[in-house]
Chain A
Amino acid sequence: MRDVSIIGIGQTPIGEHWDKSLRQLAYQALAAAMRDAGIERTDALYVGNMLSGEISGQSHLGALVADFAGLHGVEAVKVEAACASASAAFRQAYIGVASGLQDIAIAVGVEKMTDDVGSRVTTGLAGAADADYEVIHGISFVALNALLMRRYMYEYNLTREAFAGFAINAHSNAVHNPNAMFRKPISKEAFMRAPVVADPITLLDASPMADGAAAVVLCPTEQAREFTNNAVRVAGSAVATDTLSLHDRRDPLWLRAAELSAKKAYKQAGVGPQDIDFFELHDAFTVMSALSLEACGFAERGKGTWLAQDGEISLTGRIPITTRGGLKARGHPVGATGLYQIVEAVQQLRGEAGENQVANARFGMTQNIGGSGATIITHIFERIE
């Protein structure tokens, strides 16, 4: 296996892009990443996306994006793993280059949420869960997370207030991210009186869904210097799965696939949680942040929210998270989110995170969660000295 590095990144602002189609969004991010890497061709293109079939009536995204980008004849395929689709596409690009089959590979994540009405988008998102035994009962994706959050509060004797720090931190970090959807700080009072979506989840526990695309270019580390002086290497890459349904987990409050994929990624990178300088986690809902911090070894079981209350997750804390706003405030274009996380990690490790720069960051971790935890993909990136 060859060592692999990222030599180019690109992203679009996240929001309601009424004037742009799915293919235009994907191309915008892809072209930016290719310009950043200084390349004009690629050996392969992996497109991460969840909902194009349901929302835009468009499947076959590998060929569509390759065609629209003028990459005639290139190997291209869509990769789907619900909200973890973009990281799954990145993982395929990584495998392609690491294996030696491809010298340059591009991963692009794209989601176009605003092409259909709300209830059909809600139905599409529920497709991440079990159609026969969860979705048939009218459960929504928010509701599944609400079931988790209520049980979490019950078992660990917490009120909603314990989760406020996650949302406040994310919004505070998004203020200086020009691509973020919500660039305004929020107060604890605003968090406490936010309208309920599916109790105990409120609007300020949940990440906003919108349109967006992000992309990266990969090549073997030994060739990276031919393209750039600020390459970032992939130190660890791992995917793990759990039961599709929340109800089939013996221990619903433990993200087993997060633990498994993090342990594999730590092992490959030769590091542990104490070595990670920042963590772009999957804060689709505040409870997911707590569960992820616990499963990855940053907090003891049931104590994930303590980190948010003690300021340990801020840019100068022990383990900064969601450093550019996270899903909560940067926004969550579902099948593109994993590549936003990776692009942001590369920015941090290049020292290009501006006001949000984590000082002397060497190792950054990203984690992308599909469904209620059935697919979890963890990556560790390292600044090349």
Chain B
Amino acid sequence: MSVEISRHWRLNPQRYRLVGEECPRCGGKIFPPRDVCPYCADNEPQPSFKFSGRGEVFSYTTVHNAPEGYEDQAPYTVALVKLEEGPLVTAQLTDVSSGEVEIGMPVEMVTRKIRVQGDEGLIIYGYKFRPQLQAA
């Protein structure tokens, strides 16, 4: 299959299940995975770590002028989500209108269609975040 597909296939553990890493030296939780720990610069192989998918909105905005391939979704809300294990991730918010979003709002990860790509209609799935259904 095309190079474009392997580029996305390779990222399935991250996109579908928020699989990152845990540094064996400093214990830091890492997402997305990297070859060198961002906290302590350790470069030993790092075991996988699955994030809970829970976090809160750190910042957000609404995209009106979408990049190519996202025009049909606009307007949509994108956010920086602070995961409860520490890292920030960039993702779209879903199942919520932009007027309801605020900084600090508890959210949880869901898997949704991210975009359709190319003439072959390749569908890319991945994480988005929605308001936590039973906020603690």
Q: Report the minimum CB–CB distance from A371 to chain B (whole Å).
A: 13
A201 interface residue, CB < 8 Å from B? Answer: yes
B105 within 8 A of A: no
Interface 0/1 of B66-88, CB less than 8 Å to A: 11111101001011100000011
Check if B66 sits within 8 Å of A133, measured CB to CB: no
Instruction: Specify which of B67, B98, B114 is in contact with A126 (CB 8 Å cutoff).
Output: B67
* Residues of A127-185 contacting chain B, CB below 8 A: 132-140, 142-143, 146-148, 150-151, 154
Q: How many residues of B contact A (CB 8 A)?
A: 36
Q: Is B46 an interface residue (CB 8 A)?
A: no
Task: Say whether A247 contacts B115, CB under 8 Å.
Answer: no
Nearest B residue (CB) for A196: B64
A247-B87, A247-B89, A247-B90 known; A135 vs B61 contact (CB < 8 Å): no
Which of A119, A151, A246 interacts with B90 by CB under 8 Å? A246
Q: Return B29 CB to nearest CB of chain A, in Å.
A: 13
A243 contacts which chain B residues (CB < 8 A)? Answer: 38
| A151 near B64: Cβ-Cβ < 8 Å | no
Residues of B contacting A154 in the complex (Cβ-Cβ under 8 angstroms): 59, 103
Decide yes or no whether B2 CB sits under 8 A from chain A: no
- Interface residue? A310 (CB, 8 A): no
Option from B7, B14, B32, B80 in Cβ contact (under 8 Å) with A246: B80
The main secondary structure of chain A at its interface with chain B is helix
- Residue-wise, chain A 239-263 has the 8 Å CB interface mask toward B (1 for contact) of 0000101111100100000000000
A133 contact from B71, B76, B89, Cβ within 8 A: B89
Q: How far is the CA of A146 from the CA of B68 in the complex (A)?
A: 19
What distance in Å separates the Cβ of B8 from its nearest Cβ neighbour in chain A? 8
Give the Cβ gap from A363 to chain B, nearest Cβ, in Å: 36
Give A118 to B63 CA distance when docked, in angstroms: 14
Partner of B11, one of A120, A132, A198, A245: A132
Residue contact A119 to B66, C-beta cutoff 8 Å: yes
Query: Does A199 reach chain B (CB closer than 8 Å)?
Result: yes
Say yes or no for B126: interface residue by CB 8 A criterion. yes
Q: Which residue from chain B places its CB closest to the CB of A154 in the assembled complex?
A: B103
Assuming the contacts A123-B67, A147-B61, asked whether A137 and B90 have C-beta atoms less than 8 A apart, the reply is yes
Contact B67 A140 (CB under 8 A): yes
Among candidates B61, B80, B124, residue contacting A201 with C-beta atoms closer than 8 Å: B61
Query: Does B60 count as interface, using CB distance less than 8 angstroms?
Result: yes
A residues less than 8 Å from B79 (CB atoms) = 147
Identify the interface centre among A118, A154, A248: most chain B CB within 10 Å of its CB: A248
* Minimum CB–CB distance for B68 against chain A, Å: 4
The answer to whether A139 and B32 touch across the interface, beta carbons within 8 angstroms, is no
Q: Does B58 interact with chain A (Cβ within 8 Å)?
A: yes
Q: Which residues of B contact A143 (CB under 8 A)?
A: 61, 63, 78
The 3 closest A-B pairs by CB, nearest first: A146-B61, A247-B88, A151-B59
Interface positions of A (Cβ within 8 A of B): 118-120, 122-123, 126, 132-140, 142-143, 146-148, 150-151, 154, 196-201, 243, 245-249, 252
Known: A137-B91, A245-B90, A248-B38. 20 other contacts (CB 8 A): A119-B66, A122-B65, A122-B67, A123-B68, A133-B90, A134-B90, A136-B114, A137-B114, A138-B78, A138-B115, A139-B90, A140-B66, A147-B59, A150-B61, A150-B103, A197-B64, A200-B61, A201-B61, A247-B88, A248-B88
B residues near A (Cβ < 8 Å) are: 7, 11, 14, 32, 38, 58-71, 73, 76, 78-80, 87-92, 98, 103, 114-115, 124, 126
15 contacts between A and B (CB under 8 A): A122-B68, A123-B67, A133-B14, A137-B126, A138-B66, A139-B63, A142-B65, A150-B60, A150-B103, A154-B59, A198-B63, A198-B64, A201-B61, A245-B90, A252-B80
